[in-house]
Amino acid sequence: MKHRIVVLGAGYAGAFAAGNLARRLSPADTEITVVNAEPDFVERMRLHQLAIGQDLAFRKLADVFAGTGVRLRLARVAGIDPERRTVAVTGEDGDGELAYDTLLYALGSSVAHHGVPGVAEYAFDVTGRSSALRLRERLAGLGKGGTVLVVGEGLTGIETATEFAEFRPDLSVALAARGELGAWLSPKARRHLRQAFDRLGITVHEHTGIEAVEPTRAMAADGTSIPAEVTVWSAGFAVHPIAAASGLEVAGTGQIVVDRTMRSVSHPDVYAAGDCAYAIGENGRPLPMSCASAGYTNMQATAAIIARLTGSEVPTTGLKYHGNHISLGRRDAIFQMVDGDVRSKSWYLGGRTATWLKAGILKGAGWSIVHPTFGMPKRKRRLATAPDRGGVRAAA
C-alpha cells in the first residue's frame, strides 16, 4: 500500500509543499492529495488590489498540479480526527472522509475580528478572495467623496489604504491606528511612509482604537465618531478553529505547536506550515504570519517529511525573518530590514527600487508555486519502507 500524504490548503505554503513532495518522492510508493476550498491558486498578497478594482489573473490549481501526480480534491475541510488519521471534507459531491499516513496542515488564516461589535456585520476585509470580492462590489458602488476607513496600522492596513487612495483618488480614505503610524519603522522609513500618506491624501487617526463598527461610521474608544460608508477591518489575522477542535496541541493563537522540523508536538504524523503553524524562529520568537514564513516553514516541513520517509537525516532549513516589503500603491514601496530581534535597522529602501523589488517578490512567490523544485535534485526518492527495498522502517 502506498504512503498517503494529505496536504490541507493550497495557498503559498500548501501548494508549494504539495508540488515539492510530488516531484521529489517516487509515485511508486507515495500518493499525494491536496484539499483546497477554491479551484484557483489565490495570491493573498494581492487581494487589496483585487478589492479596489484591479483585474488579477488567477491560475487554476488543476493546471498548477498538471503532470505532477498530485490529486486535487476541491472541498472544504470540516474537521480532522488525528487518532483515526482521517480528514472530514465537504464539497460539491457531498461529504467525505480522507485517510492519511502523513498530514500537512496549511489552511492559512482569515480576518481576526477581536470580538469588536459590528465588525462581523458591517466591516469588510481583504484576507480572502470572497471577502475581497464583496468589498470590490461595495467600493464600485461608492461615488465621489465616498468615505472609506481602514482599521489597523499593520502591513495589510498600510498596503490597503495606500492602494485604495492611489487607485481611487475620488474616494476619501482614512486609516485608524491604535498607536503611531509606522512606529516600528526606522525614522527614515517612517518619514517616507508619512510623506506617501500625505501625497495620497490619506487621513490618519493615530491613537485611535476602534471599539464599534456601524453601517456608516466607526466609533473610537474616546467616543469619537469617524464617518465610514465602508470600514475595512485590517486588525490582524486569525487561524481557523479546526486544529484546536481536533485535539492537536495549539498555542493561545490557535496555531499548531510544532517542533523545529514543523512536526506537531502532540501528533507525529501531522506537520503544519504557513500562518497556521506556531513555529519558533532562529531568534527564539514565533515566526510572524507572512508569505516569507510560509516559505520557510513549508520548506522545512517537506524536507523533514521526505527525510523521515526515505530514512535519511532530517536537514534544517533557515527560519530567519529578514524584513518587511510594504507596497504603497503601485509606484512606491518600502523595504525595511530588521535585526535578529525583529527591530528595524536604520537602513531602508524606498521609492522605485523598493517598488521593483516588491513586484519581483510577488511575481517570484507565484512563480515558485509552479516550479517548487527549481534548483533542487530532480531524482525521485523511494521510501525506506517500500517492500522492494526490504521494508526497512523509516527513521523516526
Ligand X SMILES: Cc1cc2nc3c(=O)[nH]c(=O)nc-3n(C[C@H](O)[C@H](O)[C@H](O)COP(=O)(O)OP(=O)(O)OC[C@H]3O[C@@H](n4cnc5c(N)ncnc54)[C@H](O)[C@@H]3O)c2cc1C
Residues that bind ligand X (CB under 6 A): 9-14, 35-38, 42, 44-45, 47-48, 76-77, 106-109, 126-127, 156, 159, 240, 274-275, 289-292, 294, 325
DSSP letter, residue 380: P
Residue 224 or 353: the one with the smaller Cβ distance to ligand X is 353
In the bound state with ligand X, the residue whose beta carbon lies nearer, of 333 and 384, is: 333
CB of 130 to ligand X, least distance (A): 9
Q: Which is nearer to ligand X, 130 or 316 (CB)?
A: 130
Instruction: Tell me how far, at minimum, the Cβ of 43 lies from ligand X, in Å.
Output: 8
**Among residues 14 and 118, whose Cβ is nearest to ligand X?**
14
- Of the candidates 209, 215, 12, 233, the one whose C-alpha atom is nearest the C-alpha of residue 111 is 233
Closest CB 259 distance from ligand X, rounded Å: 18
CB 219 to ligand X: min, Å: 25
In this complex, which beta carbon is closest to ligand X, that of residue 321 or of residue 383?
321
Residue number, 71 or 382, with CB nearest to ligand X: 71
CB 62 within 8 A of CB 72: yes
Residues 142, 145, 146, 149, CA torsion sign: positive
Q: Which residues lie closer than 8 Å to 174 by C-beta, 6 or more apart? A: 147, 148, 149, 150, 161, 202, 203, 204, 205, 226, 228
CB of 311: closest distance to ligand X in angstroms?
Answer: 28
Which residue blocks in the chain are alpha helix, DSSP H? 12-24, 47-52, 61-64, 119-122, 129-140, 155-167, 187-199, 242-245, 291-310, 351-370
**Nearest-CB residue to ligand X?**
11
- The rounded distance, in Å, linking the Cα atoms of 293 and 310 is 26
Residues near 151 by beta carbon (within 8 Å), at least 6 away in sequence: 123, 157, 175, 176, 210, 213, 218, 231, 232, 233, 234, 235
Least separation in angstroms between residue 392's CB and ligand X is 33
Name which of 47 and 354 has its Cβ closer to ligand X.
47
Q: Minimum CB separation from ligand X for residue 294, in Å?
A: 4
- At which residue does the C-alpha cell 519502507 appear? 385
> If DSSP codes are grouped into helix, strand and coil, which group holds residue 225?
strand
Q: How far is the CB of 350 from ligand X (least distance, A)?
A: 15
Nearer to ligand X, 42 or 256 (CB): 42
User: Quick count: other Cβ atoms within 10 Å of Cβ 366?
Assistant: 16
What's the CA angle centered on 77, arms 369 and 310, to 5 degrees?
55
Least distance in angstroms from the C-beta of 370 to ligand X = 15
Nearer residue to ligand X within complex by CB, 205 or 240:
240
Query: To the nearest whole angstrom, how small is the minimum distance from the Cβ of residue 290 to ligand X?
Result: 3
Alpha helices (H) in 28-150, listed in sequence order: 47-52, 61-64, 119-122, 129-140
Type of residue numbered 251: A
CA distance 155 to 113: 17
Q: Which run of H or of E encompasses 387?
A: none
In the complex with ligand X, the residue whose CB is nearer, 9 or 329, is 9
Distances in Å between the alpha carbon of 12 and those of 328, 330, 338?
22, 22, 23
**DSSP category for residue 286:** B
Nearest partner of 147 among 156, 155, 139, judged by Cα: 139
